[in-house]
A and B are shown apart, each in its own frame.
Chain A
Amino acid sequence: QLQLQESGPGLVKPSETPSLTCTVSGGSITHSAFYWGWIRQPPGKGPEWIGTIHSSGGTYYSPSLKSRVTISVDTSKNQFFLKLTSVTAADTAVYYCSRFNWNALFYDYWGQGTLLSVSS
């Protein structure tokens, strides 16, 4: 059974550049039919797509976050990563990693999520 697990710093200060990691187990991140995505959900709000990456390195980013987001992948560790620059309180959210089915454009497996809080 495929499993995804997010990890991150938890609490950061405004203007910092936190990185989050998603570790994939129970399957290979290099399967050609799948991409790997980051989605966030602010408290009490709906999810927001951040960006998606293929194991080959190809990336897609949300137009609203593109200038501050970098997503990368390490196939040797079956992990992919999210870096978000110049964070503000508005970036406080639960961050999920997920598998994206490229053929039908949906997210099927999700991690449990990790809370990133931005506060001074």
Chain B
Amino acid sequence: QSALTQPPSASGSPGQSVTISCTGTSSDVGGYNYVSWYQQHPGKAPKLMIYEVTKRPSDVPDRFSGSKSGNTASLTVSGLQADDEADYYCYSYAGGKNLGVFGTGTKVTVL
């Protein structure tokens, strides 16, 4: 099972938007609406930001949004803030007894 493909880096100025892609196959991202996104600050555990492609936990600001088209899911962070600077990972169910695979990760830099 190969990791989902994400761009290594993305950046934007404060107040701008950045979109991160997560590309898989029809066996994972494209086959199910079970894509989640995690934010990870250095030395910390991942934090859930999006689940089931578009849903946000109650403690995540609405600046974070998710979408999916075909085999590619995306996370958009609007109104960039300094604290959004972190690594972001996608995760997708991969079918049957394979509960899932993570993405390669994207480092978001706030310029």
Interface residue ranges, A against B (CB under 8 Å): 37, 39, 45-49, 52, 60-64, 96, 100-101, 104-108, 110-113
Contacts and interface: CB of A to CB of B under 8 A. Distances in A.
Given A106-B51, A108-B57, A49 B100 contact: yes
A106 B34 contact: yes
A47 B89 contact: yes
A108 B60 CA distance: 12
Contacts of A46: 3, 89, 102-105
Given A63-B98, A110-B46, A112-B45, A104 B52 contact: yes
A71 to B, nearest CB: 12
B45 A113 contact: yes
Interface string B22-59: 00000000001010101000001111100110010100
Contacts of B32: 105
B95 to A, nearest CB: 11
B93 interface: yes
Interface in B54-73: 55, 57
Contacts of A101: 51
B98 to A, nearest CB: 6
Given A47-B46, A48-B102, A49-B91, 4 more contacts: A105-B100, A108-B48, A110-B45, A113-B45
A37 B46 CA distance: 14
Nearest to B45: A110
